[in-house]
Amino acid sequence: MRRVARVALALALPLLAAACASPQAAGDAAPMSFAQQKPAADDILKRPSDSVAPAVPGSLAGRTIRVSKVSDIRLGAREVVLTFDDGYKDLRDHALPVLKAHDAPFAAFICTGFADRAAPLWWLDLEDVVQRAGDMLEIAMPHGLPVSASLRSTAEKQAALRTLYWRLRALDEPAFRQVIGGLQYRYQIEPTRRLNDLCLEWSELEALVTEPLLTLGAHSMTHPRIGLLPIEDAEREMRVSRDTIAAHLGITPKHFCYPVGDQTAAGAREAEIARRLGYVTALTTRPGVLREGLDMQLLPRISVNGLFQNPSYLRALISGVPFMLR
Ligand SMILES: [Zn+2]
């Protein structure tokens, strides 16, 4: 049965509201976590609040739109699908009460390496790198010049973090993992600290999946850009994450969400793997609404976050108008 949630807006066109790994201070072009994520107490970078759960009903108030389950997507229909990536605690703690209050179905895409405490939230570990680097950041890179930046003020630290983030994103996946591992070793960063703080573990996910509004999805094992992996590794990330979720939670996901989700992370090859593995839908972070004719294994979404979005901005995105101009 389709549910109608009173969280609606004018000019509603179909979309997927997106959420993904969140380099909060790394630049506004990056995908962001949907739900509220409070800065750590020692966060010297003073990133803006990215609380979204309160913003959604506020921005959508007064109208009604159908909130559909990801398993019921109909391309071209006037409805929204709400999705949350990675398996953060803030989904349970902040978004879920709002979703339940509106009887709004939603999908949660779980990265098994986060639940296992085995894959780092590397974009957040970079904040620790900047915090611990003293007045000067000097990091050798496998290709090109080293990252070199002054860290004498908060503004300089934020700029250095953005630079480091995007220089890392420009590397291929093996070089990228090598640099991340080297930084964690050099700056004595314990990846499980962030994971324990932010991500649901399996026992907590067991409790979450009893929520009838939830559709469970897979989001890889290690959160790589799958499009940059050899095909055997890409297939394994998409297959083993599904099977691991099934083994832990007793539910076999039929939906997949590509980590990072941009053009480097998901393309025709990955869509074909998703089809071969039996995923009914697979979601990117390419911006857009759900128009007819789209590839169901390469669907666009709209990232929702509090860094650059206010209620009117969100209303405009959901209208679909910005995507008509592309
Ligand atoms: Zn993600």
Per-residue model confidence as pLDDT tens for the chain (326 residues): 333 333 322 222 333 443 333 333 322 222 223 433 333 333 333 333 333 444 454 445 455 677 889 998 888 887 888 899 999 999 999 889 988 988 889 999 999 999 999 999 998 999 999 999 999 999 999 878 899 999 999 999 999 999 999 999 888 888 998 999 999 999 999 889 999 999 999 999 999 999 999 999 999 999 999 999 999 999 999 999 999 999 999 999 999 999 998 888 999 999 999 999 999 999 999 988 888 999 999 999 988 765 556 666 666 676 666 776 55
Distance (angstroms) between ligand 1 centre and the Cα of 31 equals: 8
Q: Count CA atoms within 13 Å of residue 75 on its CB side.
A: 13
Give the DSSP H or E segment for 273.
helix 268-276
Distance (angstroms) between ligand 1 centre and the Cα of 219 equals: 7
Rounded-to-integer distance, Cα 63 and Cα 77, Å: 17
Residues, Cβ < 5 Å to ion ligand 1:
20-21, 85-86, 259
Distance (angstroms) between ligand 1 centre and the Cα of 303 equals: 12
Helix axes 154-169, 122-132, angle to 10 degrees: 140
Rounded-to-integer distance, Cα 204 and Cα 115, Å: 9
Distance (angstroms) between ligand 1 centre and the Cα of 63 equals: 30
Q: Tell whether pTM > 0.95.
A: no
Distance (angstroms) between ligand 1 centre and the Cα of 85 equals: 5
Pairing of strands 15-18, 79-86: parallel
Distance (angstroms) between ligand 1 centre and the Cα of 110 equals: 8
Distance (angstroms) between ligand 1 centre and the Cα of 92 equals: 16
Architecture of domain 3-118+199-324: Alpha-Beta Barrel (3.20)
